Amino acid sequence: MRYEVTIAIPLYNAEAYIGETMQGALAQTFGSIEFLLIDDCGTDAGVDLVRTLQGTHERGKDIRIVAHPRNLGVAAARNTAIEQATGKYLFFLDSDDRITPDCIELLYRSIEHEGAQVAIGSHRQVNVATGEVTREFALPHLSAHEPGKLAALRFGELHHVLGFYIWNILYDLSFVRDKQLRFQNLHIGEDFVFLYDLLPEVDSFVLLPEYTYAYIIRPDSLSQHGTRKQIPLSEIDEQVYIRSYGKQRFEGLKDQPYAADMVTNLMKYSFEAASYVVDRRKLIVPPAGARQIRELLRHPLTAGEVWQLDRHRTSNLIYLLWSKLPYGIATLLLTGFLRLLQLSWSAKTTLRRLSTR
């Protein structure tokens, strides 16, 4: 059967959440949806709950389960979805998040009307314990058929609301396949790497102000580390790789109008990570060394290229000079940089709370 949309849900040890997530997906007002569950060989009964829905829900015939031979990780599960989906469009839904009943209908109508490659909705962050909306990411109503425009918005004026996430986006599946876009086999941050590949390829898009997705904040989720007593070095190495990959992709995009915004975003992101590593170096096992810090601080531009930037020149000169400092001085300054970041985050959180009262 040919569907208009495939909702792809990687499933691994999500028994506690998948029921609510599936009920929200199955309640969609849009009719032609394939619900594609990628069974990544969890140890709980999550897949059994989905099989029950296959037999009891009125849309059960539209649920399809594809099982991996063994646990391969979320990146592999998403790649399986790209390969197995039968819809004209593809939508990724995490197994512990929620979508509004009109999510797919709104995105589908928009992407069809605009003839776009991707359609992106606004989303909210919701605290699982209290049900409180902790942050809102409202997009403007905007569409364009212009190469590089979406990347320019992501790295520029909309960077605070258009994050590095792959969910809540309706993709033209033929576009994804034609561009051979795939997720790299990373335990964390695979979204970032995928988007570094995706953004330069998007020539047409539509953004929606309507809230279509709830990203659920859980203390035990992969993206919410909480307080930890030990951090494996392999995790730090992956974080370094993600930022290095972004810099590598930037090398081929230096002539783009958004180059100054992209490199500034990359360097800020890299310096935040370097500050994190320095601050928590006693918890990293085995210890992180100068190699990781140096790579995070490395600037992908020369001094001459930085001087030619049409904006953000001063901040990039600071980043470049910082990267050339002796290692001990550079790490000492990173500690102060982190303190400033923490004060900034605290102030922003306080302002958001005050604004919602």
- The answer, yes or no, to whether residue 355 has pLDDT greater than 90, is no
Which residue shows structure tokens 């090398």? 251
On whether the CB atoms of residues 77 and 105 are closer than 8 A, the answer is no
Pairing of strands 133-137, 118-127: antiparallel
Amino acid 224: pLDDT: 43
Lowest mean pLDDT among 156-160, 217-221, 271-275: 217-221
Amino acid 221: pLDDT: 47
Lowest mean pLDDT among 215-229, 230-244, 274-288: 215-229
On whether the CB atoms of residues 212 and 99 are closer than 8 A, the answer is yes
Secondary structure element (H or E) that encloses residue 145, with its range: strand 142-145
Amino acid 147: pLDDT: 97
The 10s digit of each residue's pLDDT in 233-246 is 999 999 999 999 99
* Average pLDDT, rounded, for the chain: 93
Q: How confident is the model at residue 222 (pLDDT cuts 50, 70, 90)?
A: very low
With respect to CATH, is domain 3-217 assigned 3.90.550.10? yes
Domain spans, the chain: 3-217, 231-355
The 10s digit of each residue's pLDDT in 11-68 is 999 999 999 999 999 999 999 999 999 999 999 999 999 999 999 999 999 999 999 9
Q: How confident is the model at residue 340 (pLDDT cuts 50, 70, 90)?
A: confident
Amino acid 338: pLDDT: 77
Which residue shows structure tokens 């520029």? 156
Amino acid 228: pLDDT: 74
- Work out the average pLDDT over 203-229: 80
- The answer, yes or no, to whether residue 104 has pLDDT greater than 80, is yes
- The answer, yes or no, to whether residue 88 has pLDDT greater than 50, is yes
- The answer, yes or no, to whether residue 107 has pLDDT greater than 60, is yes
Q: Which residues pair with 154 in a beta bridge?
A: none
| pTM more than 0.85 | yes
Structure tokens at 271: 């310096």
Amino acid 223: pLDDT: 45
- The answer, yes or no, to whether residue 158 has pLDDT greater than 60, is yes
Lowest mean pLDDT among 74-78, 175-179, 273-277, 305-309: 273-277
The 10s digit of each residue's pLDDT in 293-320 is 999 999 999 999 999 999 999 999 999 9
- The answer, yes or no, to whether residue 350 has pLDDT greater than 70, is no
- Work out the average pLDDT over 252-271: 97
Amino acid 142: pLDDT: 98
For residue 286, whether the previous peptide bond is cis, meaning omega lies within 30 degrees of 0, is yes
Could you tell me which residues come within 8 angstroms of residue 1 by beta carbon, excluding any fewer than 6 positions away? Answer: 34, 86
Secondary structure element (H or E) that encloses residue 215, with its range: strand 204-217
